[in-house]
Protein backbone atom coordinates (compact mmCIF):
# COMPACT_ATOMS: atom_id res chain seq x y z
CA UNK A 1 0.00 0.00 0.00
CA UNK A 2 1.41 3.37 -1.03
CA UNK A 3 1.18 6.03 1.69
CA UNK A 4 0.21 9.40 0.27
CA UNK A 5 2.20 11.73 2.52
CA UNK A 6 2.56 15.46 3.08
CA UNK A 7 2.23 18.26 0.56
CA UNK A 8 4.83 20.98 0.21
CA UNK A 9 3.87 24.10 2.13
CA UNK A 10 4.92 27.73 2.25
CA UNK A 11 7.64 26.59 4.69
CA UNK A 12 9.20 24.62 1.81
CA UNK A 13 9.24 27.67 -0.45
CA UNK A 14 10.70 29.78 2.35
CA UNK A 15 13.61 27.42 2.98
CA UNK A 16 14.21 26.80 -0.73
CA UNK A 17 14.15 23.01 -0.50
CA UNK A 18 17.15 22.49 1.78
CA UNK A 19 16.14 18.84 2.25
CA UNK A 20 16.07 18.28 -1.51
CA UNK A 21 19.37 20.11 -1.97
CA UNK A 22 21.21 18.02 0.63
CA UNK A 23 19.90 14.44 0.43
CA UNK A 24 17.15 13.02 -1.79
CA UNK A 25 14.53 10.94 0.02
CA UNK A 26 14.51 7.17 -0.04
CA UNK A 27 12.56 5.02 -2.43
CA UNK A 28 10.73 2.18 -0.67
CA UNK A 29 9.69 -1.14 -2.23
CA UNK A 30 6.04 0.00 -2.01
CA UNK A 31 6.90 2.82 -4.45
CA UNK A 32 7.55 0.32 -7.25
CA UNK A 33 4.90 -1.48 -9.28
CA UNK A 34 7.22 -4.49 -9.54
CA UNK A 35 10.38 -5.24 -7.60
CA UNK A 36 12.43 -7.03 -10.22
CA UNK A 37 15.98 -6.68 -11.43
CA UNK A 38 14.67 -5.51 -14.82
CA UNK A 39 12.51 -2.76 -13.29
CA UNK A 40 15.31 -1.55 -11.02
CA UNK A 41 17.77 -1.61 -13.95
CA UNK A 42 15.33 0.48 -16.04
CA UNK A 43 15.17 3.05 -13.26
CA UNK A 44 18.97 3.19 -12.97
CA UNK A 45 19.35 3.50 -16.74
CA UNK A 46 17.34 6.73 -16.72
CA UNK A 47 20.21 8.38 -14.85
CA UNK A 48 17.72 9.75 -12.31
CA UNK A 49 18.11 7.03 -9.66
CA UNK A 50 20.99 5.62 -7.63
CA UNK A 51 21.86 2.75 -5.33
CA UNK A 52 22.75 3.82 -1.82
CA UNK A 53 23.62 1.59 1.13
CA UNK A 54 23.60 1.13 4.88
CA UNK A 55 26.41 -0.67 6.67
CA UNK A 56 26.13 -2.42 10.00
CA UNK A 57 28.79 -2.76 12.69
CA UNK A 58 29.62 -6.22 11.32
CA UNK A 59 30.42 -4.64 7.89
CA UNK A 60 27.31 -6.18 6.32
CA UNK A 61 25.76 -3.91 3.72
CA UNK A 62 22.17 -3.42 2.61
CA UNK A 63 21.51 -1.71 -0.72
CA UNK A 64 18.48 0.48 -1.46
CA UNK A 65 17.23 2.97 -4.05
CA UNK A 66 16.97 6.73 -3.92
CA UNK A 67 16.85 9.56 -6.46
CA UNK A 68 20.29 10.34 -7.84
CA UNK A 69 21.99 13.61 -7.04
CA UNK A 70 23.03 16.03 -9.79
CA UNK A 71 26.48 14.88 -10.90
CA UNK A 72 26.33 11.93 -8.49
CA UNK A 73 27.24 8.31 -9.08
CA UNK A 74 24.88 5.47 -9.93
CA UNK A 75 26.25 3.69 -6.85
CA UNK A 76 26.72 6.14 -3.99
CA UNK A 77 30.23 5.65 -2.51
CA UNK A 78 31.23 6.53 1.07
CA UNK A 79 33.03 9.59 -0.26
CA UNK A 80 29.89 11.03 -1.89
CA UNK A 81 27.30 12.24 0.55
CA UNK A 82 24.26 14.24 -0.37
CA UNK A 83 23.68 16.76 -3.08
CA UNK A 84 20.85 18.25 -5.09
CA UNK A 85 18.11 15.79 -6.10
CA UNK A 86 17.77 15.32 -9.86
CA UNK A 87 14.04 16.00 -9.55
CA UNK A 88 14.42 19.41 -7.87
CA UNK A 89 13.74 22.37 -10.15
CA UNK A 90 13.82 26.11 -9.48
CA UNK A 91 10.08 25.93 -8.74
CA UNK A 92 10.19 22.80 -6.53
CA UNK A 93 9.96 19.09 -7.20
CA UNK A 94 9.01 18.09 -10.73
CA UNK A 95 7.24 14.99 -9.38
CA UNK A 96 3.64 15.05 -8.22
CA UNK A 97 2.94 13.94 -4.65
CA UNK A 98 1.87 10.49 -5.92
CA UNK A 99 5.07 10.13 -8.00
CA UNK A 100 7.47 11.11 -5.23
CA UNK A 101 9.37 8.40 -3.36
CA UNK A 102 7.96 7.53 0.06
CA UNK A 103 10.98 9.09 1.79
CA UNK A 104 10.06 12.42 0.14
CA UNK A 105 6.29 12.13 0.55
CA UNK A 106 6.58 11.36 4.26
CA UNK A 107 8.79 14.38 4.97
CA UNK A 108 6.51 16.64 6.97
CA UNK A 109 7.33 20.32 6.46
CA UNK A 110 7.80 22.37 9.61
CA UNK A 111 8.48 26.00 10.34
CA UNK A 112 11.91 25.37 11.90
CA UNK A 113 12.72 21.91 10.58
CA UNK A 114 11.05 19.03 8.80
CA UNK A 115 10.10 15.68 10.36
CA UNK A 116 11.29 12.51 8.59
CA UNK A 117 8.91 10.24 10.56
CA UNK A 118 11.58 7.48 10.70
CA UNK A 119 12.14 7.50 6.93
CA UNK A 120 15.91 7.41 7.35
CA UNK A 121 18.58 5.30 5.65
CA UNK A 122 18.48 2.86 8.57
CA UNK A 123 14.71 2.49 8.28
CA UNK A 124 14.89 2.17 4.49
CA UNK A 125 17.49 -0.60 4.58
CA UNK A 126 15.07 -2.74 6.60
CA UNK A 127 12.43 -2.42 3.90
CA UNK A 128 14.93 -3.31 1.14
CA UNK A 129 16.68 -6.19 2.90
CA UNK A 130 14.48 -8.89 1.26
CA UNK A 131 15.27 -7.50 -2.23
CA UNK A 132 19.09 -7.55 -2.24
CA UNK A 133 19.24 -10.20 -5.00
CA UNK A 134 17.10 -8.01 -7.29
CA UNK A 135 19.24 -4.92 -6.67
CA UNK A 136 22.47 -6.85 -7.25
CA UNK A 137 21.11 -8.36 -10.46
CA UNK A 138 20.08 -4.86 -11.63
CA UNK A 139 23.61 -3.62 -10.91
CA UNK A 140 24.99 -6.50 -12.95
CA UNK A 141 22.73 -5.46 -15.85
CA UNK A 142 23.88 -1.84 -15.54
CA UNK A 143 27.59 -2.54 -15.11
CA UNK A 144 28.57 -0.32 -18.03
CA UNK A 145 26.71 2.66 -16.52
CA UNK A 146 28.75 3.00 -13.37
CA UNK A 147 31.03 1.37 -10.86
CA UNK A 148 30.59 -2.25 -9.87
CA UNK A 149 28.85 -3.20 -6.67
CA UNK A 150 30.19 -1.26 -3.69
CA UNK A 151 32.81 -2.97 -1.57
CA UNK A 152 32.56 -1.72 2.00
CA UNK A 153 36.25 -2.11 2.86
CA UNK A 154 37.48 -0.40 -0.33
CA UNK A 155 35.04 2.48 0.11
CA UNK A 156 36.00 2.91 3.77
CA UNK A 157 39.70 2.91 2.82
CA UNK A 158 39.03 5.60 0.18
CA UNK A 159 37.16 7.70 2.73
CA UNK A 160 39.96 7.33 5.30
CA UNK A 161 42.55 8.27 2.68
CA UNK A 162 40.58 11.38 1.79
CA UNK A 163 40.05 12.38 5.42
CA UNK A 164 43.52 11.42 6.65
CA UNK A 165 45.92 11.55 3.68
CA UNK A 166 48.99 10.95 5.88
CA UNK A 167 47.52 7.86 7.56
CA UNK A 168 49.80 4.84 6.85
CA UNK A 169 47.88 2.63 4.42
CA UNK A 170 49.83 -0.54 5.22
CA UNK A 171 48.66 -0.40 8.84
CA UNK A 172 44.94 0.10 8.26
CA UNK A 173 43.84 -3.55 8.46
CA UNK A 174 44.95 -6.26 10.83
CA UNK A 175 42.47 -8.94 9.77
CA UNK A 176 42.16 -11.77 12.26
CA UNK A 177 45.67 -11.27 13.62
CA UNK A 178 46.19 -10.07 17.15
CA UNK A 179 48.28 -6.94 17.33
CA UNK A 180 50.80 -6.24 20.08
CA UNK A 181 49.90 -2.91 21.63
Total Cβ atoms within 10 A of residue 77: 17
Residues in the chain: 181
Do the domain assignments include residue 134? yes
Whether the predicted pLDDT of 99 surpasses 60? yes
Element containing residue 156 per DSSP (H, E):
helix 152-163
Rounded mean pLDDT of 154-172?
A: 50
Query: How does DSSP classify residue 95?
Result: S
Do the domain assignments include residue 108? yes
Which structural domain, as residue segments, surrounds residue 76? 19-160
Whether the predicted pLDDT of 179 surpasses 70? no
Whether the predicted pLDDT of 31 surpasses 90? yes
What's the pTM? 0.72
Do the domain assignments include residue 9? no
Total Cβ atoms within 10 A of residue 19: 20
Do the domain assignments include residue 150? yes
User: Are the beta carbons of 97 and 4 closer than 8 angstroms?
Assistant: yes
Rounded mean pLDDT of 147-170?
A: 50
Select from 89, 87, 92 the least CA-distant residue to 68.
87
Do the domain assignments include residue 167? no
Q: Which of 24-28, 77-81, 133-137, 163-167 has the lowest mean pLDDT?
A: 163-167
Mean pLDDT, the chain, whole residue set? 76
Distances (CA, A) of 99 to 21, 30, 89: 18, 12, 15
Do the domain assignments include residue 171? no
* Structural domains of the chain, count: 1
Amino acid sequence: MKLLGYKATSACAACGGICCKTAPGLIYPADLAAITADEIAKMLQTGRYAIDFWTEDDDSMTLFLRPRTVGGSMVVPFTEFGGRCTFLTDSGCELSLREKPQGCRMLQPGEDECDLHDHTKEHGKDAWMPFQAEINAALDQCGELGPAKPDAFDMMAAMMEQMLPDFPQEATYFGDQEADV
